[in-house]
Chain A
């Protein structure tokens, strides 16, 4: 009888937590959709702002959409290129067991928790020193730095889950460490690697503070890596900051577009993961 009560208690606790999580997330989405949907129009996503982003009630936010996509995809690709080798080298077959690896993990964990404005300020100082101005390239680099800790740690965790027997199988066939890592470990860990990249993408596309100084903001579309570039989080920030209700309304529309982009990417990556999963050993 007591066990039954215990079981019931825990079940209701779990349901309560679930309700809080789902409920609050639903509220956020509902507010965004409720306020944003009326302002959402075709011109919103096909035109650049008219009359300045701060005061602008006309035109759209194409500049921010394009800018955010450039920034997020650019930084995600760069971050993957750096994170994957680092995560793989943290395997026990390479440096995983060394003291150095311990400190690398520790510093990544600290960096993970560092506020993004710190990254922004750091990037800004470096750019001043180099004589660079706020640009797409600067934004991409700072966002990459922001994504590295989360991406490396998440990738390392999935790489660690690759069973030793699989690696042994490859080694006994005469494969080198590199062949084993690329041919077996990456294959087995691929769905997890995709998830790790997606987590980092989410952090990258949603961050405003780190690109405030480094990518800048502009009403036009970027023509090169060295132009300043607009972004959706900053568009929301600026639009919310105006005294005009119509413009504030447009902030929600921008937020809604951001949500839709993240959702679309989530769904695509889930689909891709499923395809990669086909060969995975469980």
Chain B
């Protein structure tokens, strides 16, 4: 039994993804274990969502995006262009960041998938609706108004409806893209509890930038940073004893509100490559081991400045969005 639960379900080999020229994921090779919760952690813009989008090839729908490499699920390479992608997608439920109920009744939302896959029998559909709404923990709240529009539900209820809808097509894998980030704390807790129950039957991959959530839920952790795989392993090891300095910094960085920095430069309003050069200069003036905080607002700089600094042999400790436009990058010389 123990052996079975440790079997790998999704095997990712040399995954690369590009967004209209931007190299979003670089050479990622990792195994996702079966019937466990695997959390993908990392700062915003590190490619977590892109990573998830490769699994069910939702990335195909994005203009100018493509992925190469292999993602093997049950012996089938998902990225192989010749496979039936609708079948692969059916086998992977997706819980999105923001609940996206379909423009129909609660009942029709849950039966949408099964009906597409050929189940027409009304009794069977009724059974499916009850079963999965119960699993998602929504049944008691909606059983008297199954015919009312899904859009009338609260946002937390909508997210549970999306969970039920995803489960109704009987997937093996549940992909969650920051599933609680749009929810209030109570609804978020509700979703987390359902996920913990579901891991007995499903392989769950959850993208989260909430390190506490990852700690509460995850059995395995994958740390992505600027599109690269930094570290992965059992959650207990990664959180208690990260092998990689960057993982430690990320975990600590999220715990501390601010890293104590020795110098700070504001590069708002600067575009690449100027913000680059200024950052370099500022680092030059610091002695080894000191921390520099850089604030940028130019979108490309958010990924390129850290990357450039790393290439120069400095260590990037955190990349954090501090408000709508501004990002804070902490670099150690």
A residues apposed to B, CB below 8 Å: 92-93, 97, 163-176, 179, 183-184, 187-188, 278-282
Contact = CB atoms under 8 A, between A and B. Distances in A.
A279 B105 contact: yes
Given A168-B61, A174-B86, A183-B116, 13 more contacts: A166-B102, A169-B102, A170-B112, A173-B93, A173-B169, A174-B89, A174-B113, A175-B113, A176-B86, A184-B103, A279-B103, A281-B101, A281-B103
A95 to B, nearest CB: 14
B221 interface: no
B96 A188 contact: no
A10 B212 CA distance: 51
B272 to A, nearest CB: 28
Contacts of A282: 151
A281 B102 contact: yes
B313 to A, nearest CB: 41
B105 A173 contact: no
Contacts of B169: 173-174
Interface string B57-101: 010010100000000000000000000001101111110101011
Interface of B: 56, 58, 61, 63, 86-87, 89-94, 96, 98, 100-105, 112-113, 116-117, 149-151, 162, 165-166, 169
A171 B89 contact: yes
Contacts of B94: 168-169, 172
A179 to B, nearest CB: 5
Given A279-B105, A281-B103, A168 B90 contact: no
A170 B102 CA distance: 8
27 contacts: A164-B61, A165-B98, A165-B100, A166-B103, A168-B94, A169-B165, A171-B58, A171-B61, A172-B58, A172-B89, A172-B92, A173-B165, A173-B166, A174-B89, A174-B116, A175-B112, A179-B116, A183-B102, A183-B112, A184-B103, A188-B103, A278-B149, A279-B105, A279-B149, A281-B101, A281-B150, A282-B151
A92 B60 CA distance: 12
B87 to A, nearest CB: 7
Instruction: Give the one of B116, B117, B166 with max A CB within 10 A.
Output: B116
Contacts of B166: 172-173
A281 B98 CA distance: 13
Given A172-B89, A173-B165, A163 B100 contact: yes
B87 A279 contact: no
Contacts of B63: 92, 97
Nearest to B108: A279
Which among B61, B87, B100 has the highest number of chain A CB atoms within 10 Å?
B100
Contacts of B86: 174-176
